[in-house]
Amino acid sequence: MVPVWYDIALDVAPTALDMTVTDPALRALNDVLRNDEPQLAVYVAIGALTEGPDGFVVKHPTALSSLEERAELNGFAARINDVRGELYWAFGRANGAEGDEAVEAQVGGICGALWSALRSEQHGLR
C-alpha cells in the first residue's frame, strides 16, 4: 500500500488495514495537519519537537529559551497530537474497527514511520 500524505508517497509494511481509505473526516484532518506543517517543521528544525514512534510528536521544551515560547510549544504540540489521535481513530473507523485501541495504535505506528520518513526526506537524510 502506498498512502499519500503531505504530497509524498511512501511504502509501508503490509497490514490488514487499508491506509489508502479516505472520507470527508480523514480529508479534513489531513488538511488541518497539512496547514500546520510549516510551523511543525520549524519546531522540528530547532529540535523542540521530534516524531515519536507511536505517531505523536514529542516535546523538547529546553530547545526554547523563553517561557512564552515553551507555552506556545506546549499548546501547539497538544493540538497536533489531538488531531493525530482523531486521525488514527478515523482510520480505525474507516477500517471497521471504531474504538479499537490496538488498531489505533497500529495506525499510529504506521503514521509515526511516515512522519519520521517525511522529516528525513525534508532534511536530506534519505
Q: What is the pLDDT of residues 9-66, one digit of tens each?
A: 444 455 677 777 888 988 999 899 999 999 999 999 999 999 999 999 999 999 999 9
Could you list the residue range(s) of the whole structural domain that residue 65 is in?
A: 20-122
All three cell numbers of 49: 519537537
- Assess if residue 93 is contained within a domain: yes
State in Å, rounded, how far the first CA of the chain is from the last one. 20
All three cell numbers of 33: 495537519
User: Cα separation of 21 and 91, whole Å?
Assistant: 8
- Assess if residue 13 is contained within a domain: no
If you search the block for the grid coordinates 497538544, which residue do you land on?
A: 78
- Assess if residue 73 is contained within a domain: yes
Domain count, the chain: 1
Cα dihedral 57, 107, 82, 77 in deg (nearest 10): 10
Average pLDDT score over the chain = 83
In 3-state terms the chain splits into helix, strand, coil percentages (rounded to 5) of 60, 10, 35
What average pLDDT does the segment 2-8 reach? 42
Q: 57 and 51 in contact (C-beta within 8 Å)?
A: yes
Cα dihedral 36, 37, 39, 42 in deg (nearest 10): 170
- Assess if residue 34 is contained within a domain: yes
